[in-house]
Every structure is written in C-alpha cells, then in structure tokens.
Structure 1
Amino acid sequence: MTVLKTDKMTMKFGGITAVSKFDMEIEKNEIIGLIGPNGAGKTTCFNMITGVYTPTEGKIYFEDKNITGMKTHEITKLGIARTFQNIRLFKELSVLDNVLIANHMRLDSNLFSAIIKTPDYRNKERKILEKSIKLIKDVGLDDVINEKSSSLPYGKQRRLEIARALATDPKLLILDEPAAGMNPQESMKLMEFITEIRDRFNITILMIEHHMQVVMGVCERIYVLDYGIMIAEGTPTEIQNNPKVIEAYLGVE
C-alpha cells in the first residue's frame, strides 16, 4: 500500500526553484531517507508535505487522498506528524504535560463539556492520561515523566519530541534531522529507537538526516536531492556507490 506519493512536486520562491518536479513514493512500514548537501531542498520538501508551503506545481497524495495545499492541522489529523531539526518542546512543562498537549488533538469534545467537566469529558481525559503515560513508557522516558523537558539530556529531548509526534496517532512520521547534535553513542541508540517505533507503532517513517551512519544503518531506501533536483534513488548500498551522489557530496577534481 502506498502511504505517500509526490507527483512532480515543485516549489519556487520568486525566480528561484527550491525543489523541481520531485517524485517520491513510500510504501507502508518503510523507513525512507531523504538526503543531500545543505541547501538541496530537503526541508522545503517536508514543508510542502506537511502543509507549511503549498507547492507551486505538482501534487501530493497521502493514502491516495490529494492533500496538496491543505492546512497543517488538517494534514496532522489525517495521520502525518513531524519533528523539527531544532527541538520545539514546551520547555517549562513536564514530559507528561508535553505529551498530554499533543494527545488533546484527538479529544472529541465541545467547549461546554470542557467547562463543566461532564462525566463523558472526564472519562475522555482519563483515557488520554493513560495513553500518554503508556506512550512515555514505550519510548523509555517513564523515569523522567515528571521532569521539566528543558532539564533532560539532549537525546531524551529528541525522544520526547518524537513521543509528542506519536501522540497524534500518525500513520506517517516525518523526522527532520533526528540525530542532529548527538554524540556517536546517542546516534547508535537512535537507530535502534527508530526501527523499534516503526515496528511497535506500525507506522511509516520518512527522515532527513546528515549523519550518514544513521541514514545507511536504518533506511531501507534513500532519495537524494541536489539543488532541488532528485539525482538518485535506491538502497543504501546503491546510493553509496552512485557517482552522482559522490560528486554532489565530495565534488570532482
């Protein structure tokens, strides 16, 4: 089953083409990498898929539904969640509160029931609390559940951001440089963690990552962008040996 498909997805800013006619197809439960030198257009692709930008040309399909130009919150409700290169947590709130906030997106109640705390609303709140606690345990943060998020080590902050994205019940999880700022030991743990959450939550994962050891170690297929144009697509081994990819990263004499 195809989870995400882009058809000639293009983004232009004035006279500059950031991404040109990018075609990508992701099947259910795959872990896919999107790589390329700085300025290649990777984050622009993510921003189009998640509704931050509307493509200048082309279409985006999520489970065969055309989501081109939809708002970010609409796309999130359909089942696409993302993290950011720069961690965006509620720093003064606890681990639990960060996850609870994300879970409230699925709370189906009106303002009246929330104000007077009807039995139905209280029951839904209890279920959200139970779900949040379970999710925190699943990602290995139960030992810091009441800690302020800003006090966590960097690797745990990354896990919390991913947990918050998982709280929205995504079918597709988009990770923007999850290994950024991590030391080698943390990066190795991250590789295991990404595979674990794919299997545990039965989701599909698309990630941008500059850390080549992480990309090659966890991704099943990889797309490569250079100056907004896709120059290669294939398995990690195929990408590592692709002359165009080597030239894009290392240049030629």
Structure 2
Amino acid sequence: MTILKTDKITMRFGGITAVSKLDMKIDKNEIIGLIGPNGAGKTTCFNMITGVYVPTEGRIFFEDKDITGIKTHEITKLGIARTFQNIRLFKELSVLDNVLIANHMRLDSNLFSAVIKTPDYRKKEKKIKEKSISLLKDVGLEEVMHEKSSSLPYGKQRRLEIARALATDPKLLILDEPAAGMNPQESMELMEFIRKIRDKFNLTILMIEHHMQVVMGVCERIYVLDYGIMIAEGTPVEIQNNPKVIEAYLGVE
C-alpha cells in the first residue's frame, strides 16, 4: 500500500529551482532515505510534504488524499509528523512536559471544559499523561522524565524530539538528520532505535541523513537528489554502486 506519493513536485524561489519534477513513492512500513550533497533540495522536499511550502508545480498525495497546499497543523492531524535538523525542544520545560504538549493536539475539548476542569477533561488529561509516560518508556527516557530537557545529553534530546513527534500518532514519521552530532556509538544505537519504533508503532519512516553508515544500515530504499533533480533510486547496494551518485558526491577527474 502506497502511503506517500509525490507527482512531479517542483519548488521555485524567484528564478531558482530548488526541486524539479520530483516523483517519489513510499509504501507503508518502509524506511526510506533521501540523500544528496548540501544544497540538493532535501529539506525543501520535506517542507513541501509537511506544508511549510506549497509546491510551485505538482501534487502530493498521502494515503491517496491530495494534501498539496494543506496547512501544516492539518497535515499533522492527518498523520505526518517530523523532526528537525536543529533540535526544537521547549528547553526550559521538563522532558514529560515536552511530550504532554504534543499530546494535547489530540485532546478533543473546548476552552470552557479546560478552564473549569470538567470531569471529562480531567479524565482525558489523565489518559494523555499515561500515554506520555508510556512513550518516554518506549524511547528509554522514563527515568529522566522530570529533568529539564536542556539538561539531557545530545542523543537523548534527539530521542525526546522523536517521542514528541510520536505523541501526535503519526503514520508517516519524517526525520531530518537524526544522527547529526552523534558519536559512532550513538549512531549505531540510533539505527536500532529507528527499526524498533517502526515496528512498535507501525510506522513508515522517511529520513534525510548525511551519515552514510546510518543511511546504508537502516534504510530499505534510498532516493538521491542532486541540484534538485532525482538522479537515482534503489537499494543501499544499488546506490553505493551507482556512477551518478558517486559523481555527485565525489566529482570526476
């Protein structure tokens, strides 16, 4: 079953074409990599899928629904969540509070019930807290749930950001350079972690990553962008041996 499809999406900024006629198809439960040199258009692609940018041309389909031009918060409610290259936590809040805030997106209550704390609202808040604690347990952060998020080591901050994305109940999780800033041991643990959350939460995962060991170790298929154009698609072995990919990364004599 296809969960995400892009149909010749193009993004222009003035006279500059950042992404050109990109066709991409992702099936349910796949772990897909999107790679390419700096400036290839990877983040622009993510921004189109998540509603930050409206494509200049082309359409985007999520579970066969045309989501082109839909606002970011509406796309999140449909089931697409993302993390960012630069970690965006509420640094002065606790680990638990960071996840609670994300969970409140699914809290179906009005302002009146929230202000006076009706029994129904308190019941829903209790369920959200239980869900948040369970999520932190799943990502290995239960023991630090009451610590300030800014006090966590870098690798744990990454896990917290992913837990916050998981709190929105996504079907498609988009990770923007999850291994950035990690040491080799943390990167190895990240690969196992990505597989674990894919299986446990029945997710499809699309990730940008410059760390080739992570990409080749965890992704089942890989798309390669260069100057906004798709130059290759295939398995990790096929991508490693593709002359166009080698040229894009290493150049030619």
TM-score by length of 1: 1.00
Equivalent in the alignment of 2:249: 249
How big is the shift at 1:118? 0.6
Equivalent in the alignment of 2:226: 226
Equivalent in the alignment of 2:185: 185
The CA distance in 2 between the partners of 1:86 and 1:115, in whole Å, is 34
Amino acid at match of 1:227: Y
Aligned residue for 2:161, secondary structure, equals helix
Q: Which runs of 5+ in 1 are unaligned?
A: none
Aligned residue for 2:87, secondary structure, equals coil
TM-score by length of 2: 1.00
Amino acid at match of 1:196: K
The CA distance in 1 between the partners of 2:251 and 2:135, in whole Å, is 44
Deviations 1:172-195 (A, max 9, x none): 000000000000000000000000
Equivalent in the alignment of 2:120: 120
How big is the shift at 1:228? 0.1
Deviations 1:13-56 (A, max 9, x none): 00000000000000000000000000000000000000000000
How big is the shift at 1:239? 0.1
Deviations 1:62-90 (A, max 9, x none): 00000000000000000000000000000
Equivalent in the alignment of 2:162: 162
Equivalent in the alignment of 1:86: 86
The CA distance in 2 between the partners of 1:116 and 1:210, in whole Å, is 49
Equivalent in the alignment of 2:214: 214
Equivalent in the alignment of 1:147: 147
The CA distance in 1 between the partners of 2:241 and 2:67, in whole Å, is 35
Segments ≥4 residues shifted beyond 3 Å? none
User: Identity rate of aligned residues, in percent?
Assistant: 89
The CA distance in 2 between the partners of 1:71 and 1:103, in whole Å, is 19
Residue 109 of structure 1 pairs with residue 116 of structure 2? no
How big is the shift at 1:143? 1.2
Amino acid at match of 2:178: P
The CA distance in 2 between the partners of 1:118 and 1:155, in whole Å, is 39
Alignment of 1:2-151 (within 5 A): 2-151=2-151
The CA distance in 2 between the partners of 1:195 and 1:21, in whole Å, is 30
Aligned residue for 1:40, secondary structure, equals coil
Amino acid at match of 2:241: N
Residues matched between the structures, number: 253
The CA distance in 2 between the partners of 1:169 and 1:44, in whole Å, is 24
Amino acid at match of 2:130: E
The CA distance in 1 between the partners of 2:181 and 2:23, in whole Å, is 30
How big is the shift at 1:128? 0.2
Aligned residue for 1:109, secondary structure, equals coil
The CA distance in 1 between the partners of 2:133 and 2:182, in whole Å, is 26
Let me know the Cα RMSD of the aligned residues. Answer: 0.3
